[in-house]
Amino acid sequence: MNKWLIGARVKTLPAAVAPVLVGTSLSNQINLTNAFLALLVSLSLQIAVNYANDHSDGVRGTDSDRVGPIRLVASGLATAAAVRNAAIIFFCIAACCGLVLAMNTSLWLILVGMISILAAWGYTGGNKPYGYFGFGELSVFTFFGLVATMGSYYVQSKELTSRSLLLSLPMGCLACAILVINNLRDIDGDKLANKQTLAVKLGQTNTRRFYVLLLVFAQLFSFLAISTFVYAIATLLLVPLTYSCAKQVLKGAIGLDLVGILSKSAKLQLATSIILSIVLRINS
């Protein structure tokens, strides 16, 4: 596989697609141009933060003892400068698409975009990366849950509603769950590197419980968001995959097994977004 595809961490990209799909589907009338731009912004930010994380962790030596997928800088597949430049390119793509969206809707989105880019870089970049102090999950919940879902709805409807907020919660929980599994997998290496992720702070057992709690809340919020529709029963289709992920984690899956669970968690988020979107479009 091309090294840049490896660095983009393709298996995590459903976390960028899902909230845009849900937020867009909530609107009665869909502007396809704005929907496409919102998707480009979300995907570009996700890829940019993946490259930025690869660069920053590689430079710090955090990825030296990694169990999961290959990292470009740590493995020597690409130089730190090249990976940093790749991150900058995708940040620029996100900024350009976001600027067009802002001009189409509201200039306030420029400020939202600037904060999102700074948060993406600050996750593992800079002198005091907040991802090293246990705030990564909060950031992911906020930007790939609340902001991405409600923002995608806003660029369609030019309003924010309590329903768009409710729909953003399962997206935030599932995006957060992906990061929790990632950090659970890396917990031993992060301890050695003094990277105080939330998983390191909580410990193995509580991190596993936290992951399951996120899945449960995602299932609950998904149902509540569309419970007024008879088709809300479709959310029960997600129970087997949710149960499978939770069972494996609670049984003590470690190392490479967690890589598979990370992939299943991403598929769960994408499946959730597809079911929610179909129900929303049927009832629009």
- Between 111 and 63, whose confidence is greater? 111
- The pLDDT score that the predictor gives to residue 190 is 83
* pTM of the model as a whole: 0.92
Share of the chain above pLDDT 90, in %: 60
Q: Write out pLDDT tens, residues 203-221.
A: 999 999 999 999 999 999 9
Q: Write out pLDDT tens, residues 264-283.
A: 999 999 999 999 999 998 87
91 pLDDT band, cuts 50/70/90, is very high
SS3 annotation, the chain: CCHHHHHHCHHHCHHHHHHHHHHHHHCCCCCHHHHHHHHHHHHHHHHHHHHHHHHHHHHHCHHHHCCCCCCHHHHCCCCHHHHHHHHHHHHHHHHHHHHHHHHHCCCHHHHHHHHHHHHHHHCCCCCCCHHHHCCHHHHHHHHHHHHHHHHHHHHHHCCCCHHHHHHHHHHHHHHHHHHHHHHHHCHHHHHHCCCCCHHHHHCHHHHHHHHHHHHHHHHHHHHHHCCCCHHHHHHHHHHHHHHHHHHHHHCCCCCHHHHHHHHHHHHHHHHHHHHHHHHHHHCC
Q: Write out pLDDT tens, residues 27-55.
A: 989 999 999 999 999 999 999 999 988 88
Q: Write out pLDDT tens, residues 211-259.
A: 999 999 999 998 888 877 778 788 889 999 999 999 999 998 888 888 8
CATH class for the domain made up of 3-282: mainly alpha
